[in-house]
Amino acid sequence: MRVEVQLASTLPVLAPLVAAVLVLVLDAALPGRRVLHLGVAAVGLAGGALAALPGLRLVAGDARTAFCLPTGECLHTADRLVSALQVTALLGALVVLVLAWREWAGGDGGGGVSGGGAGGDGGRAPVVVSLLLGATGGVAAVPAAGDLGTLLVSLELATLPTVALVALTHPRWAAERRARSVEGAVALLATSLVSFGLLAMGAALWVAATGTALLGAPTAREPVLLLLASVFVLAGLAFKISAVPFHAWTPITYTTAPLPVTAYLATVSKVAALGALVVLVRALGSVDDTTLLAVALLAALSMTVGNLVALVQTDTVRLLAWSTVAQAGWVLLPLASLSSRAASAAGSYLLVYVVATLLAFVVVLVVAQGGAGTSLEGQRGMLRARPLLALPLGLALLTLAGLPPAVAGLVAKVVALRPVVGDGTWWLAVVAAVNVAIGIAVYLRWFATLLSAPSTTGPGGTDAAGEARAGEEARHTPVAWWVLVAALTTLLVLGSVAPVGII
Amino acid sequence: MIDSLRPAGRQLLELVPDLGAGWVVLALAPLLVGAVTLLTAGRWPTAPGHTAIRAVSVGAAVVSSLGVAGTALHRPGVELPWIPSLGVWLRLGVDGLSTPLVLLTSVVGVVAVLLHLHVPPPPRPAPLEDEDVAATSPIPLVRSIDVPGLATYHACLLLVLLGALVAFLAGDAILFFVGFELVLVPMWVLVARYGDPGSDREGAAARFLMVTVVGSTLMLVGLLGVATATGTSDLARWAELRGEGIAPGTQAALAAVLLLGLALKVPVFPLHTWLPWVHATAPTAASVLLAAVLLKLGTYGIVRLVVPVVPDGFALWAPLLGGLGVTGVIWAGLACLVETDLKRLIAWSSIAHLGFVVLALAAGTETGLQAALFGNVAHGLVAALLFVVVGGLKHRWGSARLSVARAALREGTPRLGAALVLGMAASMGLPGLAGFWGEIGAVYAAWAPAADRPEGWFRLYAALAAVGGALSVAYGVRVLREVWSGDRAEPRVPDAVRTERLALRLLGALVVLLGVLPVLLLAVTAPAVEAVIGR
């Protein structure tokens, strides 16, 4: 059997993986050159994103393929939506890399997230970098998968390295803090094992039902078995996207992992889960009513539970973790309809969500690095004290809430609701409408904290001391972080002036 | 004589150049630029003084109102593709339905930015026996002063105006929704940050936001449903289709979702509970905008998005809607008889007036729609006038409680007193003032509803609405007796300052003008009303 290989279209996946190998080789040849390793990683991610860019120009129905069988089916298929997901994942990973750069490069004398990053064991940086690259390669491969084998392998490639990323903490952290992050890693590991079990079971049933591992248009010999298979696969993927009731790991892992890794889990990993869902939905074509109802229930439960719990959080990272759960419901929402553009709608929503969440994480990290911690109270009065940070954060929050002036978020909500309303699933539409209101309460609570008068009993003492502290922080904040804030803010503003709508 | 003046007036209007889309830009751009300027200026190390801030703000509102006037005169249209993948166009323009409302918005907008902001200090716990003894309290300051955050306050006012104008000008359902939502965050800031610190202002602001957001998202669900059923989000196309191709069951569901969402905004009884609380807390200018502009978004939404778009669905719900409207008239009228806070009382009277508007809409005739549109504008002007007076009084008195003995307005502050008398008279629906035509039209329309409405029910509504009109006279007289008449002269408070006099004269003149010459407004709306009802 001849397999037609077209490496050019797999470059978005290959570039980060090649970079991962290069980093490991470089580490063996030139140990201790951490900045070089990080540079190679950045080039790999940026190169992958560049290679995926031409895919955005594809017209509907066209795709870039690789590993094509003589029968015409391809194991790697990247159309416009897949390319957009790949670009999102790779650029998101690049943002995380920049965020973690100083901590991982360790040794410029500045304070890391937990203060003091000098020295450390130099052997760790190449490991974490290659783990990040490996996971990102997996994420980029998932949405393009054309058969169950590729799907499962790339999903695990996207997940397992993140467990290690959560566990490999900062060497200077206190023993108790490290123990907690191991706890988070264990939660993540247990979850991913269970979900892999469900996925493998689903895949086996799928093959039994259709007689092939290829995903392109299955001819169901056993419709009931195929339905069972899709429910198993759906449950497995619900773990990854942290939809209720498969969400229990999310708050534990998010709060114990180092902040850049949390940002990675909340954004790039979600792209993998959604990519897999998109592959599944496309393969099933006209989905069974039962699967639709299952997706609808997952969506409704996720957004309701996520929003309600987020409403009472007092820590920004925990709040973002629960907001992730709620937003997972919004991403799932369009998939609960029969619309042909449901997958594109979910992808478009995810895109806006990733940009806004990354921006929120960058700002939270900048504030935390300044010593104010991640508590909500620590950001009281930020709009007056540090407007350059508070305004982008406010924009990100309004985008997540879907309120103008952040029209990008509002259009994303419209895009996500449209297929559901088009189908006439009124109960789901009304649940979503109520959740818009609760979501706004969640994000505006944070926004109100930014807006309110600064607390007088803060650790900064008098105004002058506070200003001095802010000035000192500003000097310690790397320029690259400001560039990230500016770039992500520009993206949101552009998306608000000229919204993309559906990819 | 009027006939000889007409050609002269027409020649005068022809002197106004036709800038085409330039007029729309002139209407919207100053508000956006002004708001952004003020928001950035507020962050400068040395914040600008109140004179500069007010100059920018008033300038932006005045230039914008010139743009609105030009837009209303020449009716240019803007059409640009905005979100191609969703088929959403940036369509901005006016027709007979929206012209009165954009003009109302810009007039009320100028009034709102003119008013001075005074945030009273948080109340000190006073000894119990000294409470309510205000005779020796200092005469409050009513000049413009440097209030912290004044620039943000004015920026929020301009953004509210911008959102309302976008919604009224929108020719596309999604764009209407964007404008509708754009007013929320600035309005929330206005109430939460500049509201009365003596009350639970954050709670009031949150309640306003939650209620409105639930309403607007339900409306969005309905809009998306109509958009998928018709394949477009162009409002003009929707009105042409008149619900063709939408199954009766779907029409009923869409009308229910849309009406429920908009009824929260209007607000229609029994969804009105948020309004008095928010009005009692909001600063004067925000109250003026809320009553005169934002509530109109709800009634305008019903006229624009429900009546012509899903006519059969609307006909199904109209008897219920009319019943709720007239219940609101009676309920709010009774509440006004016992309410002890003057600002809340005016808010209740707003609910009563909007009940008339909703009843007129539900009747489904041309007369009803005319009465509703007229009542809309009349209520906007009267409520703005009353809130300017009452907000000013609340600042001077320190609170708006009616149980505390105050100096009689007739003696102490004759100008404010005269404005209050005019406003209450218009609110009672006395002939010769703007309030009359909307209410008499609503009662008449309910007496003779459209052919497919249950006549018996609507006649009952008409009778009840007439009783509600009598109630409005009763509470109007109550207000005048409690605060206007009498001869008590202590504690002294200052009379209307220049900006207030300007605002009150402008609004008062318009109230009288529309009362004497209602045809000015009816002629503008008549062709559009025929198109909406036309069958």
Q: Which of B178, B184, B225 sits opposite A421 (nearest CB)?
A: B225
**Subunit contact B83:A501, Cβ cutoff 8 A:** yes
- The three-point CA angle B181-B157-B261 to 5° equals 25
Q: Do A498 and B82 touch (CB under 8 A)?
A: yes
Residue entry with tokens 């166009």 = B89
B448/A contact by beta carbon, under 8 A: no
Local confidence band at A278 (pLDDT 50, 70, 90 cut-offs)? confident
Q: Is the pLDDT of residue B462 over 90?
A: yes
pLDDT at A108 over 50: no
* Nearby residues of B240 by Cβ (< 8 Å), 6 or more positions away: none
Q: Is the pLDDT of residue A462 over 50?
A: no
User: Could you report the predicted ipTM of this complex, rounded to two decimals?
Assistant: 0.87
| N- to C-terminal Cα separation, chain A | 36
**A219: amino acid identity, one letter:** T
Report whether A269 contacts A188 (CB < 8 A).
Answer: no
Tokens (6 digits) for A311: 């409403």
Q: Give the separation between CA B481 and CA B200, rounded to whole angstroms.
A: 30
* Of B363, B396, B385, B387, the residue nearest B434 (C-alpha): B385
Angstrom distance (rounded) from CA B16 to CA B74: 9
Cis status, amide bond into A218, omega within 30 of 0:
no
| Cα A119 from Cα A98, distance rounded (Å) | 19
**Contact at CB, A405 and B82, closer than 8 angstroms:** no
The amino acid at residue B334 is: L
For residue A63, the model assigns a pLDDT of 82
Closest CA to A321 of A430, A247, A399, A219: A247
CA pair distance B167, A66, nearest whole angstrom: 49
Residue linked to tokens 């009616």: B402
User: Tokens representing B521?
Assistant: 């407004």
Nearest CA in chain A to B227: A422
Cβ separation A434–B214 shorter than 8 A: yes
Q: Where are the domains of chain A?
A: 286-503
Which residues touch B453 (CB under 8 Å, ≥6 apart)?
B315, B318, B319, B322, B362, B363, B364
Segment B238-259, tens digit of pLDDT: 888 888 888 888 899 899 999 9
Distance between CA atoms of residues B304 and B93, nearest Å: 14
Asked if residues A99 and A105 have their Cβ atoms less than 8 Å apart, the reply is no
Q: Has residue A199 got a pLDDT over 60?
A: yes
Q: Which of A405, A433, A499 sits opposite B221 (nearest CB)?
A: A433
CA dihedral of B440, B442, B444, B445, whole degrees rounded to 10? 160
Give the β-pairing of B78-83 and B88-92: antiparallel
CB < 8 Å to A385, chain B? none
- Answer yes or no: are the C-beta atoms of A167 and A185 closer than 8 Å: yes
> A316-332 and A342-367 are packed helices; what angle lies between their axes, rounded to 10 degrees?
170
- Evaluate the CA torsion angle B346, B348, B351, B353 in order and state its sign: negative
Indicate yes or no: CB of B83 within 8 angstroms of CB of A499.
Answer: yes
Chain B residues close to A499, C-beta within 8 Å: 82-83
Cβ A346 vs Cβ A277: under 8 Å: yes
Contact at CB, B224 and A501, closer than 8 angstroms: no
Minimal CA separation from B163 to chain A, in Å: 9
Q: Which segments of B18-135 does DSSP mark as H helices, in order?
A: 21-41, 50-74, 99-114
pLDDT above 70: residue A250:
yes
The amino acid occupying position B337 is L
pLDDT in tens, A306-345: 999 998 888 999 899 999 899 999 999 998 887 778 888 9
> Is residue A448 within 8 angstroms of chain B, CB to CB?
yes
Q: Do A437 and B217 touch (CB under 8 A)?
A: yes
Contact B300/A at CB under 8 A: no
- Stretch A52-77: mean pLDDT: 83
Query: Is the distance from CB of B79 to CB of B236 less than 8 angstroms?
Result: no
Test mutation, B213, B218, B250, chain A, max A CBs within 10 A: B213
Only one residue has tokens 């450390």, namely: A120
Please check whether residue A501 touches B, CB under 8 A: yes
Chain B residues with CB under 8 Å of A426 CB are 221, 253, 257
The Cβ of residue A303 has, within 10 Å, a number of other Cβ atoms equal to: 28
Query: Once rounded to an integer, what is the mean pLDDT over residues B151-160?
Result: 92
Weakest-pLDDT range from A38-47, A365-374, B119-128: B119-128
Six token digits for residue A357: 């969440």
Q: Judge whether residue B351 has pLDDT over 80.
A: yes
The Cα–Cα gap between B387 and B385 comes to: 6
A142: amino acid identity, one letter: V
Helix (H) / strand (E) element for A185: namely helix A175-210
> Which residues are CB-neighbours of A385 under 8 A, at least 6 positions away?
A454, A466, A470
Cα separation, A238 vs A78, in Å, equals 23
Q: Dig out the tokens for B280 from the structure.
A: 């009692």
The confidence score (pLDDT) of residue B389 equals 92
Question: CB contact, 8 Å: B225 with chain A?
Answer: yes
**Residues A141-164: what's their mean pLDDT?**
91
Give the best residue of A59, A383, A414 to mutate against chain B (max B CB count within 10 A): A414
- Whether the CB of B167 is below 8 Å from some CB of chain A: the reply is no
pLDDT digits (tens, 9 = 90+) for B62-121: 999 999 999 888 888 888 888 888 888 888 988 888 999 999 999 999 999 998 887 766
C-alpha distances in Å from residue B31, one per residue of A44, A492, B38, B62: 46, 22, 10, 10
Q: What distance in Å separates the CA atoms of residue B61 and residue A34, rounded to the nearest whole number?
A: 58
Name the closest residue on chain B to residue A435, using Cα atoms. B214
Among chain B residues, the shortest Cα distance to A417 is held by B221
> What is the distance in angstroms between the Cα of A431 and the nearest Cα belonging to chain B?
10
Tokens of residue B169, six digits: 């000008």
Res B73: pLDDT? 86
Residue with the larger pLDDT of the pair B502 and A212: B502
Examine the pLDDT at A386 and tell me if it is beyond 90: no
Closest residue in chain B to residue A497, using alpha carbons only: B82
Q: Which of A421, A434, A467, A496 is the best residue to mutate to test the B interface, defined by the most B CB atoms within 10 Å of its own CB?
A: A421
DSSP for residue B321: H
Are B412 and B442 in contact by the 8 Å Cβ rule? The answer is no
A338 in B contact zone (CB under 8 Å): no
B88 touches chain A (CB under 8 A): yes
Instruction: Give the residue-averaged pLDDT of B207-220.
Output: 90
Phi, psi of B45 (to 5 degrees): -60, -45
CA A474 vs CA A240, B46, B93: distances in Å: 37, 21, 47
Overall size of chain A counted in residues: 503
CB B282 within 8 A of CB B246: no
B90 touches chain A (CB under 8 A): no
Q: How far is A339 from chain B (nearest CA, A)?
A: 11
Q: Under an 8 A CB cutoff, do B85 and A410 touch?
A: no
CB of A333 closer than 8 Å to CB of A265: no
Distance, in Å, from the CA atom of B34 to the CA atom of B22, rounded to the nearest integer, reads 18
Distance from CA of A414 to the nearest CA of B (A): 8
Give the span between the Cα atoms of A96 and A101, in whole angstroms: 8
Domain ranges in chain B?
A: 18-118+146-533
My answer on whether omega of the bond before B267 falls inside 30° of 0, hence cis, is yes
Residues 6 or more apart whose CB falls under 8 angstroms from that of A452 comprise A380, A381
- State whether residue B247 sits within 8 Å of chain A by CB: no
Judge whether A367 is closer than 8 Å to chain B, CB to CB: no
CB contact under 8 A, B210 and A430: no
In chain A, which residues have their Cβ closer than 8 Å to the Cβ of B165? none
CA distance to A489, B155, B362, B376, B514, per residue, from B371 (Å): 48, 34, 11, 8, 13
Cβ distance of A437 and B253 shorter than 8 Å: no
pLDDT exceeds cutoff 70 at A32? yes
A494 vs B: CB within 8 A:
no
Average pLDDT score, chain A:
84
**pLDDT for A118:** 38
Partner residue facing A414 (CB), from B188, B209, B220: B220
How many of the other CB atoms lie within 10 Å of CB of B226? 27
The whole-angstrom separation of Cα B534 and Cα B523 is 17
From residue B43, how far is each of A114, B37, B47, B288 by CA, in Å? 31, 10, 7, 27
Nearest residue of A to residue B230, measured between CA atoms: A422
Question: What does the pLDDT look like over B317-329, one tens digit per residue?
Answer: 999 999 999 999 9
Which of B220, B226, B251 is best to mutate for the A interface (most A CBs within 10 A)? B220
Contact B371, B441 (CB under 8 A): yes
Is residue B503 within 8 Å of residue B115, measured between CB atoms? yes
Distances (CA, A) of B338 to B279, B299, B328, B403, B426: 17, 27, 16, 11, 21
